[in-house]
Amino acid sequence: MKQEEFNEIFRNRTKGLALQVINVVGELKYSDALGILRKQLIRSVTSTAANFRAVCRARSERERFSKLCIVVEEADETLFWIEMLTDAGFISKEKMEDCYQESEEILKVMAAYKKKIKG
């Protein structure tokens, strides 16, 4: 697969995941604790998407690697906040399953990409 194709696929996947998360958690009723967890999840998932876009536009390999490190960190954080929401009982694991699986796949691919660039 060409780099441009890879970039396009993962720009769409990371953005799609962000939109999916926003839609799923946007339906939940407000509480202080839920508000904090929801905000953190939305921040991490949108940061994953935004920073992957920055990876695609990097001006150097060092910049690409640096942004990719952020993508991996934010993707992992997204998994953490999904786990917090489900473990705290604010939303069922079933409702978040697709988001969780997509986040996990994105994290695995980005971690492997990071390793390849560093290697």
CATH number of the structural domain spanning residue 86: 1.20.1440.60
pLDDT computed for residue 32 by the predictor: 96
Please determine, for residue 118, whether its predicted confidence score (pLDDT) is greater than 90: no
How many other C-beta atoms can be found within 10 angstroms of the C-beta atom of residue 40? Answer: 16
- pTM equals 0.94
Closest CA to 50 of 65, 36, 70, 64: 70
Q: Domain range holding 106? A: 3-118
CB 117 within 8 A of CB 65: yes
Average pLDDT over residues 100-115: 97
92: left (phi over 0), alpha (psi -120 to 50) or beta: beta
Q: Domain count for the chain, please give it.
A: 1
Read off the pLDDT of residues 18-49 as tens digits, 9 standing for 90 and up: 999 999 999 999 899 999 999 999 999 999 99
Read off the pLDDT of residues 63-105 as tens digits, 9 standing for 90 and up: 999 999 999 999 999 999 999 999 999 999 999 999 999 999 9
